[in-house]
Amino acid sequence: MSISHTEFGRRIGYSFRDPGLLELALTHRSYGGENNERLEFLGDSIVNFVIGEALFQRFPKAREGQLSRLRARLVKGKTLAELGREFSVGEQLRLGSGEMKSGGYRRDSILADAVEAVIGAIYLDSDMQTIKARVLSWYASRLESINLQDTQKDPKTRLQEFLQSRQMALPRYEVTSVEGEAHAQTFTIECHIEALAEHTIGIGNSRRHAEQEAAEKALALIEPKGARA
């Protein structure tokens, strides 16, 4: 069920002076004509900077690698999609008929891109201080709960080291599908491990992201619970 732009503005904590920017931010490329891809590019840069600065200030003794891993965790597609669901972004999206029928309004990659586009739109509609305050407000609980123990190595590295330490064959990643145009593709990748009867599947807007998701799922199946605590 769709909500009004007024209600959407209340949820994100911002009322647009130029409603056209919000319309554009919520327009997927499948809709035709102008779409949110340029705003997405801008929003991606902004959220990376704002969260990076917040982490820099919050953890004054953290190393560069730790800060990078924390930021990656907070600005990854899955986290942005979670924000999108909290704001009911899917209900506001303008999608082409094909994407609408296939449930595009629920897809993580589309929701994440739309959230980044909304960030870019708010910046253009106001200024850096305003969008910085909005992003920090949206991320407040996540920033409060995160700590340096969350800076563990990425799933692919952890999976490889886990298998190597047990003298097991390394994982094999297989691209099973690539959808979308060259500048906005969605990758589906399978992770095959001899120790697992079934393969795991990862989906992402880059091959790397899809491989990381597939590796994370494999780790959840093969790694002892105590090692994940």
Residue 150 a catalytic site member:
no
Q: Annotated catalytic residue: which of 99, 113, 116, 190?
A: 116
Tell how strand 186-192 and strand 172-179 pair up: antiparallel
Q: How many CB atoms lie within 10 A of CB 105?
A: 20
Residue 116 a catalytic site member:
yes
Q: Annotated catalytic residue: which of 40, 44, 99, 211?
A: 44
* Sheet bearing 186-192, strands edge to edge: 172-179, 186-192, 200-204
Render 156-180 in DSSP notation, one character per residue.
HHHHHHHHHHTT-PPPEEEEEEEES
Q: Which residues contact 9 (CB under 8 A, 6 or more apart)?
A: 15, 16, 22
Tokens 């997405």, located at residue: 40
Torsion (CA) 144, 145, 151, 152 in degrees, nearest 10: 180
What does the radius of gyration of the chain's CA atoms come to, in whole angstroms? 19
Q: Helix, strand or coil for residue 204?
A: strand
Catalytic residues, by residue number, are: 44, 116
